[in-house]
Amino acid sequence: MSVRLPKRRTGRLGALKIAGCVGAFLAVSVAAAALTPQVGAQAEKPARAPAEKKREKPKKERPPDPDAPTPEAQLVGASFCSAPACHGAMLKDFSSLRHSHYVSNPKLGDAAGCETCHGPASDHLGDPEHRKIFRFSIQTRENARRINETCIKCHQETVRKPHYESLSHTREGVSCATCHEVHYDLGTPYLLRLPGKDGPAGRPLEERKLKQLLAHARTERQIDGGTEGQPPPVVPPAAGAPAAPAPPAENRPTLEILAKTRVPIAAWRSSFTRDPHVVTKDQAVNEICGSCHRRELSEARGLSHHPLLEGRMGCTACHDPHRSEGGRLTTGRMLSRSSVSETCLQCHQQLRGPFRFEHEPVKSGGIGESCMECHRPHGSPNRGMLVMPTRAVCLQCHVDIQRDPPHQSRTGSCWRANCHTAVHGSNHSREFFFE
């Protein structure tokens, strides 16, 4: 009994409608953005000529951004920053990083050194609150963008600018500096911050690094929250000045400040023991991701799971935290490939096909979620990372099979009764009986 359906087709017209609507909306938004004067960008641009300033329409005065240099700020050179009473201790550590090698390149001219990323520091030197400079330790939305835009100047190959605005991470105020530590040599791959580095899981940093961060975090906390006393006194950069005294123990930075709400990961059985000095790249990536994404981490400890915690693979095998594409584009799963199926096929090439008889959900191309119709990729209480056990996973769609007489005498799962063994697609059987 075959029911012939009326032929309907949206085709090009539907596509043009959608593309037209999106394009029109985009054009209006871009035009509005282009016509809107940049408020927070004066500090990033060089001072304009007087004639150019005259052409600007008078606009409503907004308070200057306290965490950005003014347009008149001047470059002062890194020698001021490295004064012992200021950032000397930090720069000592920083000088052993590859970044310091690049930012001190003479090609950068007067901006070489700290001001390559932090902007001109003359205002910062004279500011009683030690602000007026780009600070990467503050996790606000404005600062997240500022941090990202600073990093993207060199790292455009990794981070594509239109993508990071769309990232869930960006909306949550997560910036490059949330995951990467660019000032201290933690010895981790990709300069990742790592909970438990140089110590057991749960201890953020070794004591020396802790003290350095402590001094820094105390200042940041006073400035950012204003909840812990008055701003620190102004310390003019003087060569040979004694180092600042260690802050009292009660000002020890919280886990939130040190590790940005990171939660340590309890140890798990693994083929690769966790060596605090030489963690594997996968271990470092998994710890940094899992310290926030707790539910996904729990699933990775389920009955069946991808072997992340066993040390055999990392989150970045499937996800690219720098891209917003992939999967359901509207939620931004940050997949490393353009779709769920392409992401899975990277390692499961035997399922690529295409087959003469495709199981439609696997490569549905838009109606379903392809592999994730049946599987939970982080882990599941069921075998095979299935959303439901055995034949129930098939019956979630094929409900009528439950009452189909030929099927009622079968036991076990639909594919293990030597019936529908090629559930991912077959070249020889429409019913997926064999490959």
Distance from the Cα of residue 94 to its chain's centroid: 23
CB of 51 to another protein, least distance (A): 16
Token pair of 184 as six digits: 């201290």
Question: Which sign, positive or negative, has the C-alpha torsion 14, 17, 23, 29?
Answer: negative
Give the tokens for residue 99.
Answer: 């970044």
From the CB of 234, what's the least distance to another protein, in Å? 22
Cβ 15 to another protein shortest distance, Å: 4
| Least distance in angstroms from the C-beta of 294 to another protein | 5
Give Cβ neighbours of residue 171 (< 8 Å, ≥ 6 apart): none
Q: Do 177 and 191 meet the contact criterion of CB atoms below 8 Å apart?
A: no
Q: How many CA atoms lie within 13 A of 112 on its CB side?
A: 11
CB of 163 to another protein, least distance (A): 7
Per the listing, tokens 């037209």 go with 20
CA atoms within 13 A on the CB side of 355: 24
Distances (CA, A) of 433 to 60, 348, 409, 411, 419: 72, 20, 17, 16, 5
> Measured from the CB of residue 124, what is the shortest distance to another protein in angstroms?
12
Strands (E), 256-392: none
Residue closer to another protein (CB basis): 64 or 381: 381
